[in-house]
Chain A
């Protein structure tokens, strides 16, 4: 019922905690302030890794959804993985938006701008909130899985739009610094190290949380199946109790 061996999961949890502690030390103290943005730059050590995890999470959701829809690979495992990853994606997209807003206030002078990157990211957030809401609509597990998988694939179309929005339109948001085709960040030294460390730390945390969330999804599915079986049994028993006695002929006249 889990993706990982419980021991591996525990180790990952501790590794994530340690990596995040190191990130805090580097991000808040060791890395120097930026020449232009000053200390506001320190928010980038969280904002960029959060955005990376949002991409990763929605990518996993889309891949798992496609594997569920394809008959040859259809398995409840993919549906659970898609649901688990989408919830984490929403969490990290929310963090990306809030951290970006907190950074934007001192650097841009505004909390929010109707900028292509910001708007498409907000749309992404609401698309996947909608996906999670759709999963909560009561339905047989298979029907829910199918329609959720289709919704996830439709929602994923926004991910490349978010990523390339800074190239396709003139935006206030800067162009890609880290996730360029060459992955050659245009920053150096301790700042680059801290940023990459943040990406690694958040990735470890994501894998750990994904495993935990998958376990919850599997447990809830089991419970749902049991409750359904119980409800059917009760219905059958109830029907038996209220059924007309066998000797009464329906429609018979005296």
Chain B
């Protein structure tokens, strides 16, 4: 594959950014649910 470093880098970065956002969103939801329960 030509320009593999750009192509693989771009795909990996997108996958990483989306996965990180999804995981962080899940953690924020769980934290908010817990705080709401405790309040």
Q: A194-225: contact bitstring with B at CB < 8 Å (1 yes, 0 no)?
A: 00000000000100010011011001101100
Contact at A28–B18, with CB atoms within 8 Å? no
Is A190 on the interface with B (CB-CB < 8 A)? no
Given known A95-B14, A205-B18, A223-B39, contact A102–B6 (CB-CB < 8 A): yes
Partner of B6, one of A24, A40, A226, A230: A40
The verdict on A106 contacting chain B, using a C-beta distance below 8 Å, is: yes
CB-contact partner of A106 in B6, B22, B33, under 8 A: B6
What is the interface of chain B mostly: helix, strand, loop, or mixed?
Answer: helix
B17 touches A24 (CB 8 A): no
Interface set, chain B 1-39, CB cutoff 8 A to A: 1-4, 6-7, 9-11, 13-14, 17-18, 21-22, 25-26, 28-29, 32-33, 35-36, 39
Report, as a range, how many residues of chain A touch the other chain: 20 to 34
Interface on A for B, CB 8 Å cutoff?
24, 27-28, 33, 38-40, 42-43, 46, 50, 91, 94-95, 98-99, 102-103, 105-106, 205, 209, 212-213, 215-216, 219-220, 222-223, 226-227, 230
B residues engaging A (CB < 8 A)?
1-4, 6-7, 9-11, 13-14, 17-18, 21-22, 25-26, 28-29, 32-33, 35-36, 39
